[in-house]
Copies of this chain bind each other. A is one copy, B any other.
């Protein structure tokens, strides 16, 4: 490995720095400029300038969150100027430190430091677009992943810290998989900023437990401990011992007493955190004052509103600045940060050299690594998915079908990291010879094995963190890791805020959601989803796919794998499903809906969906045999995919030009199906605790009854004409429950 060529001004007197600053041994070390760190006057000028700038930026549009951004000024200087390893001129440098602003409302703080250190797009003009009406702003009200230098979109509290856990896992996993002695090709640190709020949200608490369990010592969470939230003092709602709680969760805890001004102490703590040998994630508790430098310092009033012109002037006076001047950033400030770019270029150069040498030493591994860096699969996934003929034709639960597809993919594709929220025996996601993702020294009990190369993840009973951390895994470097989560469909309601964040961020994750209807049975209404599909069918950029049999399950995976910017939920049965190899088609699934059974001179179109397809097919037989009615059947696994089809295709499938009614049969609330059908055989209440088959029967899912009701509906239409039902949707499954 080539020695670092450190720019001259960054090599002075490192020995005299406090705790461990001079002691770092961890990979490419962007050395710390102690000369400037000890220059109290310059530092003070930087902090004062920064705070006045924040006040000005909020004041111009009379909004925003100035208080925490001001309180975190010194933390920002420590991070962006001294500690973090990144390259402002190439924000996507693969081995960069990842930074997550979990308290995303303070984004102006991040944008401003990104500007000062020279992120290529973050001009002063852009900085001033915060809270403006500019539609091309890269400074939205919360950080958004679309913009260079932002690792993940944050804002909903608690998500960011969970994402950070995923980013740190990704580093651990890739390092364990690809690093070789002397070749730490993956060695970055993940930094995460949290406020008081993130430490209260359940998703964060779940993620904190997992980070401690996995001993992610490359994760450093910095707590902006200003003890203020919207309502006022944190003590209004939280009086626990945060440090003790973190320690009990397996974290190392460090503290900084004066986070407002003592950049040196912050740097020392952050460097100590990075170089710690505790083998634990580190929680750096830094005491700050919200709105420091203003009249409302330490008060909730500083949190979520601009200060007003008069107080902004006061802030400037107190900071020894001209109250008449706004947006003042002297050249001294830019000079102060100027070394960062050069250091970043140097980090990149070092890493590129390292990777080049690695390629000579380990050519096979290096070429696989190169594919992973590019975000490409290392094998052709399409050839791995079983053919129709490979599936059993006996009735099969689609959760089992999903295992038949996904286990093969996971075994062969290193991109896959597959996990479950403690439902391994139910979700069929374990493949032969899988290795668990675990800390290699974790052998506390009966038969636990695994290490960081492992790609099977035991999430515990933490659905929300599972999905949120998976977003972090997916965001590490797009395409490098494809997380597959699994649980009962009902419990994707727990995970919903994180599933949404994945869809919003265009991060591909595949969610395996089993036990997807009242067919799940005796666990009862708490476990039987009725209304949840309505959420996911309405959620932008999410594929909610309900396959009807094994062949359609293969189609669901193909659809998910063909959509690099879109997460999918594959919704599967607990119970056995009839297989329809003569009708079902994987390519039909990828179109969202297709004609399952065509019928000349049909009287009605039945829409069958996923786990309830059998009712549609059997009702068709009863309609024919008992009522002399001809029904065609459409399989409709995914509304969003169907919407993407050309109008002609949609018209052909649904029969826009024919004058026969359409009826959907599904054991969910019908909401949303009205777009495609004139009547629904659906659920209008919560479920009931009965064995699956009995639960279906209890709620009228019985082909005889379905056919009777549909026959009655078709008769009305025949006698009174299609116009008689126009605009008045019919619920055909009316029962007393």
Residues of A near any B CB (own CB < 8 A): 61, 63-64, 104-105, 131-133, 135, 137, 140-142, 144, 153-158, 196-198, 200-206, 209-210, 212-213, 227, 229-242, 244-245, 247-250, 300, 304, 420, 422-426, 436, 438, 442, 444-448, 458-462, 464-465, 490-491, 493-494, 496-497, 500-501, 503-504, 521-527, 530-532, 534-535, 537-541, 651, 654, 656, 662, 669, 671-672, 674-676, 678, 683-686, 688-691, 694, 698, 722-723, 726-729
Contact = CB atoms under 8 A, between A and B. Distances in A.
Nearest to A656: B728
A726 to B, nearest CB: 6
A623 to B, nearest CB: 20
B230 A424 contact: yes
A63 to B, nearest CB: 6
Contacts of A205: 202, 205-206
A41 B235 CA distance: 51
Contacts of A537: 534, 671
Contact of A236 (B237, B249, B436, B521): B436
Contact of A493 (B500, B522, B523): B500
Given A135-B688, A141-B689, A212 B240 contact: yes
A133 B694 contact: yes
Given A231-B458, A461-B197, A522 B131 contact: yes
27 contacts: A132-B691, A135-B690, A135-B698, A137-B689, A140-B522, A141-B521, A141-B527, A142-B524, A156-B490, A201-B461, A202-B205, A209-B238, A212-B239, A229-B461, A236-B448, A236-B458, A237-B458, A241-B249, A503-B686, A504-B526, A531-B535, A534-B534, A540-B683, A540-B684, A651-B728, A722-B723, A723-B723
How many monomers of this chain does the complex have? Answer: 2
Contacts of A538: 530-531, 534-535, 669, 671-672
Contacts of A238: 209, 213, 460
Nearest to A242: B248
A197 B491 CA distance: 13
Given A538-B669, A698-B135, A723-B723, A155 B524 contact: yes
A103 B390 CA distance: 40
Contact of A656 (B212, B300, B654, B727): B727
B235 A304 contact: no
Given A142-B524, A526-B142, A424 B669 contact: no
A248 B651 CA distance: 62
